Structure 1
Amino acid sequence: MNKNAWVLPDQLADVLPRQARTLEALRRGLLDLYRRHGYELVMPPLVEYTDALLDDTDDDLDLRTVKWADAVTGKTLAIRADMTPQVARIDAHLLNRSGVARLCYFGSVFHARAAGLLTSREPMHIGAEVYGHSGLEADAEIQSLLLASLRFCQLPGVRLDVSHAQIVRALLARAPQLQYDKDAVYSALQAKDTAALHTLTRACDEEVGSALLALVDLYGGVEVLERARTSLPPYAEISKALDELQTLATLDDSGALQFDLADLTGYDYHTGVMFTAYCTGMPNAIARGGRYDHIGERFGRARPATGFSLDLREVTELLPCAAPSTAIAAPWIMTPDLRKAVESLRAAGEVVIQLTEQHQHEEDEFVCDRELVLDAGQWVVQPIKAK
């Protein structure tokens, strides 16, 4: 017998009863929220061929994906590390609609390497995607739905940072000297490393270099957008991006919306508006999303697409466990009249837990405040008297 058989691999954990009930309540509530907005639920498989889950541009996703040779076909299989490509595949080839498709999903993903020291290698993702509409209306809907999701979860200190992928792309398109240092530029912007940016932009056009350096300080409330109009060149792509962000700024008055024009996580993936959600008590982003119009290209049918994904496992780590529910204790005997009484109570929505006299009630999720007792030949519910 292996004495350590109960030990789990690093950064994997069981979800125990009360936390599991919190997670399940969030899952049900969020999927109901998405349904009320017209989103249809899809359930892709845990395992697919690698060419469906990965493309050549996302090295980070490739490193986080577990792969092996299929014993049946000899092809390379992978456990999904992200569900968005799967939903794009469903939209492109299984549904194959010409109009707008609103899809939502929930499921576990698995990472060969955790995203951070305190994060799980098995996130539980829930998300929503809009396919088939390139207009800002789709991005606005996703922004509003993401904020509604975070409010439903009752997370403390929610902040949604909004950025736009086309701003930096417009600058780099005018700086061919930076073509081979593009990744380094994005990394320096993400880290707000002005010294590195000074070094990288030394040889490029002064207008572009100054604009890239200005992005580091362009974060905060809606006033950032006005500062950006004076700090950045009036290129058509940048003006259009700032106009889109300005419109999105008018859609929420909760104070949760912020702008960080140097927050470019996933820059090689996104093609427009980008969302990153944070909250008090969690150093990592709690949700990410944005526009990624090229995601369907690998399936031969690129469609406009925007959406978000939220990790419910991390969310439940931030919330108090659900309070125990009240329950009715009943004898654990097999008499027909008792069984009928128990079934009737359960059908009415009551939790009934049957116990023998030798067993104590030990469930974390339930507190038995009543009991089913035989009184004058009838099974009746009575309060449990304090001992």
Structure 2
Amino acid sequence: MTKPNDLLPEGLEDRLPLEAARITAAMRACLDVLGAHGYDRVRPPLLEFEASLAGRMAGAVTGEGRAMFRFVDPASLRTLALRSDMTPQIGRIAATSLATAPRPLRLAYCGDTVVIKASQLDPARERLQLGAELIGADSVAAAGEAVMLAIEALKAAGLTGISVDFTLPDLVDTLAEKAFSLDPEQIEAVRRELDTKDAGGLKAAGGAAYLPLLYATGPFAAALAALRDVDAGGALKSRLDGLEAIAAHIGDAARITLDPTERHGFEYQSWFGFTLYAEGLRRAAGRGGTYRIAGSNEPATGFTLYLDRLADIAPQPEAKPLIWLPFGHDRTAAAALRAGGARTLSQLAEAEDPAMLGCTHILTDGGPTELEPGA
């Protein structure tokens, strides 16, 4: 019977064996891919001083920083915070402990994050975040590597129907400076109307020249061609050439689309951002792009995968046989079975039923023997 004190806070939940197995399998598969490509894993702490954590990345105070749990450390009497995003921590490590390490520096990470309040679309307040950061490079080559690495990791986790949506987070700023000039107070209004895809509102905000951006979306080749037409003056040529090179690097590994004005989730990114999707997943599987690390201003490229979401559609790992070890069993034989990857369960009481406990085999003098029904 559930007691009131047994209830979990809103947005938090237990992960039971089958679901936990999917999450663990997806995590191992993704980390294996990152490791195989030379990304070394780091493990930053769950808690940090709030000033360091919130200030490490531009926009953190108004974005994720405002969502962090805070409390006073009894030891230092300074304010601590529970991380709501691991990316700023990777930036801190790169700028401090690994400041003299050769660049580009490739780091991988995986850990839990917590937010005070989640969105209606994603009510979870605790999330398992996995990602990779390429520190010291935000070039086209770095972006191409990050996107392909993310695609490969998703496929290793068992996801199919992968698609990638490109965006240009600094598009409005670039055009306002070089081609379609706007007053400083107009820029945010134009961004807002582009976010809502409101043609009338865009005109009213003084952004009539930006109307073609609303239609430069969709399958990559057609959307890029439409965006090149917008960029008749050459203000975006280098960026669009970069997008084309990244798309060529991906090839047919994933479906590619383009939404150049998409900003949600790209508060930190500079010239390039991307969102990952997979068949059967209602929300994004991950996001990434290029950015600058606050404090050091070092360029970087990376991505984050949302492991909890992936586990919703990731295949269930094949269950290994569970071998019952009765009283007096051969311990050397049992150890050899475990060393070979088998799972064992030792008998603790006479009345235990191995079949009820999920065992499929029993260890006998001749080795593992399949349990007979009703045994």
Q: TM-score, normalised by structure 2?
A: 0.89
Residue 307 of structure 1 is matched in structure 2 by 302
1:185 is the counterpart of 2:177: no
- Do the aligned partners of residues 281 and 190 (structure 1) sit closer, same or farther apart at CA in structure 2, a change above 3 Å counting? farther
- Do the aligned partners of residues 183 and 139 (structure 1) sit closer, same or farther apart at CA in structure 2, a change above 3 Å counting? same
Please, what is the CA RMSD of the aligned residues? 2.4
What is the rounded CA distance, in whole Å, between the counterparts of 1:6 and 1:360 in structure 2? 29
What is the rounded CA distance, in whole Å, between the counterparts of 2:335 and 2:37 in structure 1? 36
Residue 354 of structure 1 is matched in structure 2 by 346
Number of equivalences: 366
Amino acid at match of 1:359: E
Task: After TM superposition, list the pairs within 5 Å mapping 1:83-162 onto structure 2.
Answer: 83-96=86-99, 97-162=101-166
What is the rounded CA distance, in whole Å, between the counterparts of 2:116 and 2:72 in structure 1? 16
Alignment equivalent of 2:174, drawn from 164, 170, 173 = 170
SS in 1 for 2:96: helix
Larger deviation: 177-186 or 188-197? 177-186
1:12-37 Cα deviation digits (max 9, x unpaired): 11111122122112212211111111
Q: Percent identity?
A: 30
Amino acid at match of 2:299: P
Amino acid at match of 2:3: K
Alignment equivalent of 1:383, drawn from 351, 370, 374 = 370
Task: After TM superposition, list the pairs within 5 Å mapping 1:1-387 onto structure 2.
Answer: 3-55=3-55, 57-58=59-60, 59-96=62-99, 97-173=101-177, 177-201=182-206, 209-221=207-219, 222-236=221-235, 238-251=236-249, 252-292=251-291, 294-295=292-293, 297-298=294-295, 301-331=296-326, 333=327, 335=328, 338-355=330-347, 356-361=349-354, 367-373=358-364, 378=365, 380-387=367-374
Query: Structure 2 regions of 5+ residues with no counterpart?
Result: none
* Cα distance, 1:368 vs structure 2: 2.8
* Cα distance, 1:178 vs structure 2: 4.5
What is the rounded CA distance, in whole Å, between the counterparts of 1:60 and 1:148 in structure 2? 29
Q: Is the CA contact (8 Å cut-off) linking 2:29 and 2:157 kept in structure 1?
A: no
- Do the aligned partners of residues 359 and 172 (structure 1) sit closer, same or farther apart at CA in structure 2, a change above 3 Å counting? farther
Q: Is the CA contact (8 Å cut-off) linking 1:127 and 1:308 kept in structure 2?
A: yes
- Do the aligned partners of residues 347 and 172 (structure 1) sit closer, same or farther apart at CA in structure 2, a change above 3 Å counting? same
Larger deviation: 48-57 or 159-168? 48-57
Residue 205 of structure 1 is matched in structure 2 by none
Q: Is the CA contact (8 Å cut-off) linking 2:29 and 2:153 kept in structure 1?
A: no
Larger deviation: 69-78 or 166-175? 166-175
- Do the aligned partners of residues 178 and 120 (structure 1) sit closer, same or farther apart at CA in structure 2, a change above 3 Å counting? farther
What is the rounded CA distance, in whole Å, between the counterparts of 1:182 and 1:360 in structure 2? 70
Residue 206 of structure 1 is matched in structure 2 by none
What is the rounded CA distance, in whole Å, between the counterparts of 1:176 and 1:69 in structure 2? 47
What is the rounded CA distance, in whole Å, between the counterparts of 1:345 and 1:150 in structure 2? 32
